[in-house]
Amino acid sequence: MSALTCNMVGHSAFGDASVLSVMPLTLSAPAAGQIRMTVKAVSINPIDYKRREGKLKLIEGPQVMPLGICHDAAGVVESVGEGVTEFKVGDRVATRKRGVGTYAEATLTGADVSAKIPDSVSFAHAAALPLAGMTALQALRAADLKAGETVFISGGAGGVGHYAVQLAKHYFKAGKVVATCSGSKAALCKSLGADEVVDYTAVPHGTQYAGRGKFDVVMDTVGDSAAMCVLGKPHRNVVSVVNLDLPMAPNATFVVRAFLMAMGAPVHFAAWRAGTTYQFVRLTPNAADLAFLLGLLDNKTIVSTLDTTFHGLAACQDAFNKAEHGRPAGKVVIEI
Ligand SMILES: NC(=O)c1ccc[n+]([C@@H]2O[C@H](COP(=O)([O-])OP(=O)(O)OC[C@H]3O[C@@H](n4cnc5c(N)ncnc54)[C@H](OP(=O)(O)O)[C@@H]3O)[C@@H](O)[C@H]2O)c1
């Protein structure tokens, strides 16, 4: 197996979407446990533009430029490394790569964070799923949501939120799902499984949670956990995938850990006052959860909602501007 020369989207400086450009990429042969895949579709997640802006420098330390971008991809296995038995050349696969660089014509990724795409699922719909879908699944699991219970989800039309609403209703079989979103996305949220939708833009901040009763599970995808703790039943679970908190960087320096603990203090205090249990959930990418979710796409338990589909590497700036500033409903995907 030899090196592969192709093109990727990357950046040589931190900044807004204008720092992105198409640049050459040389990929080595896949190492043990890796696959090399031809990328057919990629999706954008907020971590991609936070990292491009340099917002993760404190947590991740100095970076070697140029950097690739994006973690999610769907495509076709082009070669496999030693020890990989679950995939063969030609398989359709989706992945949530650990490092950056899926927005490219080809990428290397771990077999342990990849799964086969069922025939009924398109590359675009599969590419939308890995990071956001696994985060939604793992957060609701961590919150111990049970059949018949009530759940309140903020940001129910976002990338993570739209999978969370569907999983809560159709997989965990929640009795009642209430979600926040801006008014124009209420119909989408309801079609995905929300029993009630709260337009957070129609009322002053904080009042969207008042008088709504108590929920078995509260899931925050927008960074509003301290205010949302009032919604939690005593001794039940509030989970956040957003708030700055220690589990974001468990191996960081003492100073960074102290900063994260200080940032997390208000929500821990709010949870204590409300008598709820609070935890920050950080995605753990893995093949089993990804395969499970692709199965739910296959049997139509959930759908990937695609707001906009762009085409090609050259669309990188437009695609990122849409994802960051275009208030998409669901996901922004690029077909390569
Ligand atoms: N912990 C982890 O491992 C993990 C994993 C994945 C994502 N995340 C984080 O989770 C967050 C959400 O990710 P995402 O992919 O879902 O982002 P996204 O696709 O941009 O969705 C965010 C949603 O939040 C809504 N929103 C914004 N402000 C709101 C508010 N005050 N109240 C209610 N809804 C509000 C937006 O709706 P409108 O456009 O209608 O306002 C949008 O639909 C990001 O910060 C991301 O970095 C963390």
Q: In whole angstroms, give the CA distance from residue 74 to residue 128.
A: 9
**Digit-coded pLDDT (tens) for 244-300:** 766 667 677 887 778 778 888 889 999 999 999 999 999 999 999 999 999 999 999
Give residue 257's pLDDT: 79
Give residue 62's pLDDT: 80
| Pairing state between β 106-110 and 34-43 | antiparallel
**Digit-coded pLDDT (tens) for 307-334:** 999 999 999 999 999 999 999 999 999 9
Give residue 255's pLDDT: 79
Give residue 50 CA to ligand 1 midpoint distance, Å.
Answer: 12
Of 186, 195, 200, 189, nearest to 163 (Cα)?
189
Which residue did the predictor score with more confidence, 59 or 230?
A: 230
Residue 63 predicted with pLDDT over 90:
no
Give residue 314's pLDDT: 98
**Digit-coded pLDDT (tens) for 111-134:** 999 999 999 999 999 999 999 999
Please state the atom number of ligand 1 nearest to the C-alpha of residue 329.
43
Q: In whole angstroms, give the CA distance from residue 160 to residue 137.
A: 9
Token pair belonging to 197 = 């939708």
Ligand 1, atom 45: closest residue by C-alpha: 242
| Pairing state between β 331-335 and 34-43 | antiparallel
Q: Within a 10 A sphere around the Cβ of 215, how many other Cβ atoms?
A: 25
pTM recorded for the entire structure: 0.96
Please state the atom number of ligand 1 nearest to the C-alpha of residue 46.
47
**Digit-coded pLDDT (tens) for 78-120:** 999 999 999 999 999 999 999 999 999 999 999 999 999 999 9
Give residue 180 CA to ligand 1 midpoint distance, Å.
Answer: 11
Please state the atom number of ligand 1 nearest to the C-alpha of residue 184.
40
Please state the atom number of ligand 1 nearest to the C-alpha of residue 330.
19
The pocket around ligand 1, CB under 6 angstroms, is made up of: 45-47, 131-132, 135, 154-155, 157-161, 180-182, 185, 200, 221-222, 224, 241-242, 281-283, 327
Give residue 222 CA to ligand 1 midpoint distance, Å.
Answer: 5
Q: In whole angstroms, give the CA distance from residue 218 to residue 236.
A: 9
With contact defined as beta carbons under 8 Å apart, do 131 and 331 qualify?
Answer: no
Strand residues in the chain grouped as ranges (E):
4-11, 21-27, 34-43, 67-68, 72-80, 92-96, 106-110, 114-116, 150-153, 176-181, 196-199, 215-220, 232-240, 277-280, 306-311, 331-335
Token pair belonging to 254 = 């003492």
Pocket test for ligand 1, best of 162, 221, 243, 308 (most atoms within 8 A of CB): 221
**Digit-coded pLDDT (tens) for 144-158:** 999 999 999 999 999
